[in-house]
C-alpha cells in the first residue's frame, strides 16, 4: 500500500561563507578618511540619496588607497557602522569622565 520511508537523508545545500578577510588598521584609517572627505564635500551637499553617498564612498575608498582591496559597498557600510558605534561609545564615556573632573587633578590622574 504505502512505501516505507526512505532511509537516505536529503542533503542540505551547504552555505558558503561570503565573508572576506578582516579589516586591517590601514583600511580602518582609509575608511575614516574617506568618510570624512566625502561627507564634508560641499559640491555634492546634503541632497543625495544614501545609495549615491555610499557609491561615492566606495569609489573614493578604492581610488585613493595605496593597497589593493576589494571591499563591497555593503561591507564598507557595515564596517563604518561598527566604527561609528564604537567611536560614539568612547566619546560618551570620555564626556562623562570630563563632567566628573575633580579640581586639581590632571588627565593622567583621572585615567589612573
Domain span at residue 44 reads: 25-101
Give me the pLDDT at residue 12, please: 59
Q: Is residue 31 part of a domain?
A: yes
Give me the pLDDT at residue 47, please: 77
Per run of 10 residues, the mean pLDDT along the chain (length 112 residues) is 57 63 91 92 78 93 89 94 96 87 73 68
Q: Is residue 7 part of a domain?
A: no
The size of the chain, in residues, is 112
Give me the pLDDT at residue 4, please: 58
Q: Is residue 106 part of a domain?
A: no
Q: Is residue 11 part of a domain?
A: no
Give me the pLDDT at residue 15, please: 61
Q: Is residue 32 part of a domain?
A: yes
Give me the pLDDT at residue 3, please: 58
**12 within 8 A of 57, measured Cβ to Cβ:** no
**DSSP assignment of 32-88:** HHHHHHHHT-TTT-S-S-HHHHHHHHHHHHHHT-SS-----HHHHHHHHHHHHHHHH
Task: Work out how many domains the chain is built from and give that number.
Answer: 1
Amino acid at each position: 500500500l504505502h512505501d516505507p520511508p526512505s532511509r537516505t537523508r536529503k542533503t542540505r545545500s551547504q552555505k558558503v561563507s561570503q565573508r572576506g578577510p578582516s579589516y586591517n588598521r590601514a583600511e580602518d584609517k582609509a575608511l575614516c578618511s574617506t568618510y570624512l572627505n566625502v561627507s564634508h564635500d560641499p559640491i555634492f551637499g546634503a541632497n543625495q540619496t544614501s545609495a549615491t553617498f555610499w557609491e561615492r564612498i566606495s569609489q573614493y575608498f578604492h581610488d585613493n588607497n595605496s593597497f589593493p582591496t576589494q571591499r563591497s559597498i555593503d561591507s564598507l557600510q557595515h564596517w563604518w557602522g561598527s566604527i561609528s558605534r564604537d567611536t560614539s561609545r568612547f566619546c560618551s564615556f570620555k564626556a562623562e569622565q570630563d563632567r566628573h573632573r575633580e579640581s586639581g587633578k590632571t588627565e593622567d590622574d583621572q585615567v589612573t
